[in-house]
Homo-oligomer: A and B are copies of this chain.
Amino acid sequence: MEITRFVFSLLFLVMMTVGSSGSPNHWGRKRVREPCKKLVFYFHDILYNGRNSKNATSAIVGAPAWGNRTILAGQNHFGDLVVFDDPITLDNNLHSAPVGRAQGFYIYDKKEIFTAWFAFSFVFNSTQHKGSINFAGADPLMNKTRDISVIGGTGDFFMTRGVATLSTDAFEGEVYFRLRADINLFECW
């Protein structure tokens, strides 16, 4: 009888293990939203305006018929397409040693207010991080914070997914802005 009770205890243990295995679920049950990795970075965008060729990290390369490529277009810059190669820093100082580059593009995509759509990568090649994180999503930049998707990664960030919360940490006219990215990864391999 003692042994039988012990067997039942074991069985119970096994069943609990199976039941609570917390295995991810692709069919609609809620999964625990606990990041497997959290990262915070800043990146710095200096837009080419015809006079800052040396310092600029980005440039308008597409514009609507009513715009040009040295001045952001009217109607809240609707249609302006900007390519960037921005330094990534650990703090909010433009002159801190960059730990990587934010590379990709954004488009202003609404006539009535400022809003943008981003697709880019964080590219790292330092002792701390090697690899890339890929992002895409809408950036309604007048909101204090806004979420975009982490759609993949390579190297240290192999196959990762998650959400990055962007906030505008600073901006100076139409030439400089600094974004803070709070990256929360929910799939880590």
Contact of A65 among B27, B70, B79, B161 (CB under 8 A): B70
A34 to B159, CA, bound (A): 12
* In the complex, chain B residues whose CB is within 8 Å of the CB of A23: 21, 23-25
With both chains docked as a complex, state the minimum distance between the C-beta of A104 and any C-beta of chain B, in angstroms: 5
Identity of the chain B residue whose Cβ is nearest the Cβ of A25 in the assembled complex: B24
What's the tally of chain A residues with a CB closer than 8 Å to chain B? 85
Identity of the chain B residue whose Cβ is nearest the Cβ of A116 in the assembled complex: B103
Copies of this protein chain in the complex: 3
* In the complex, chain B residues whose CB is within 8 Å of the CB of A147: 131-132, 154-155
A68 to B61, CA, bound (A): 10
Cβ of A4 within 8 Å of any chain B Cβ, yes or no, is yes
A123 to B105, CA, bound (A): 19
- Asked if B163 and A162 sit within 8 Å, CB to CB, the answer is no
With both chains docked as a complex, state the minimum distance between the C-beta of A41 and any C-beta of chain B, in angstroms: 15
- CB-CB under 8 A for A148 and B154, given A119-B119, A186-B26: yes
A-side interface residues toward B, CB under 8 Å? 3-4, 7-8, 10-11, 14-15, 17-18, 21-28, 30-34, 36-37, 48, 50, 59-65, 67-70, 78-81, 83-85, 101, 103-105, 107-111, 115, 117, 119-121, 123, 131-132, 134, 136-138, 140, 147-155, 158-159, 161-163, 186-189
